[in-house]
Amino acid sequence: MNLKYRKTIIAGNWKMNKTLSETKAFAEAIKPMMGKHKWCEVVLCVPAVNIPGAVKAFKDTRVAIGGENCHYEASGAFTGEVTVEMLKEVGAKYVIIGHSERRQYYNETDITVNKKTHAALAAGLRPIVCVGESLEQREMGVTEELIAYQVKMALSGLNEGQVRRVVIAYEPIWAIGTGKTATAQQAGEVCAHIRAIIRKEYGARVARAVTIQYGGSMNAKNAAELLAQPDIDGGLIGGASLKPEDFTTIINAANQD
């Protein structure tokens, strides 16, 4: 983390979990535990249908609500999809783009990630853009090249002001939902590499202002060590964000002096 130049953001990714009543119960359970966030921003990305209910449930807190996906077109014949304006109008502030599960199961590509990033920013949403390598890619030694490609593709055509509003989440695919976390050093190295790519493309001022998260089996036990890395500015948390105690512990780890 680097509190001088950029925001620390702890974001939960609920994936396809929790009904509306479970969402409300989570809000009631976590509210008394959370205390003041201090400098850390807290986000919960929830299934689209539950966004209005989640916004209401977290109304008197500083928890921002986000979507987990969006379409890049403004309207049209795209059965089952939601637009950025729809997300915005029901109170979402963030949207996850290019999660590896979307890339794997729903044909998300670096091209659609770029289009969606443009659309989200145009609507005033902050995109959380996910990048990350598979185990095979890591073992073949192409992690750096792949991440550089994914980051450049995602940000292509954005101006400096827009890049500052993008959150990048480095999520090695082999660490997602597997309980196998990248070591703090491995995660820190790739996040530093991402910042170096942004520095090269957009300059030092933009690079130091961008929030870069780590995601992939981040939990109550390993969060503090990961967040102690200078280029890891938060987390995108799946499993551990479903439990109020664990999620609170991670938020508190981000609020350490």
By annotation, the residues acting in catalysis are 99, 171
Residue 170 vs 202, nearer CB to ligand PGA: 170
Please give the Cα distance from 225 to 185 (Å, whole number).
Answer: 9
Please give the Cα distance from 19 to 50 (Å, whole number).
Answer: 7
Please give the Cα distance from 87 to 68 (Å, whole number).
Answer: 10
SS3 63: strand
Site membership for ligand PGA, residue 234 (CB under 6 A): no
Please give the Cα distance from 110 to 112 (Å, whole number).
Answer: 6
Shortest Å, Cβ 100 to ligand PGA: 7
HSE-CB of 35 using CA atoms within 13 angstroms: 12
Q: Which of 8, 13, 117, 150 binds ligand PGA (CB under 6 A)?
A: 13
Site membership for ligand PGA, residue 216 (CB under 6 A): yes
Shortest Å, Cβ 159 to ligand PGA: 28
Shortest Å, Cβ 12 to ligand PGA: 9
Site membership for ligand PGA, residue 182 (CB under 6 A): no
Site membership for ligand PGA, residue 171 (CB under 6 A): yes
For the chain, what is the total number of helices (H) and then of strands (E)? 12, 8
Residues that bind ligand PGA (CB under 6 A): 13, 171, 176-177, 215-218, 236-240
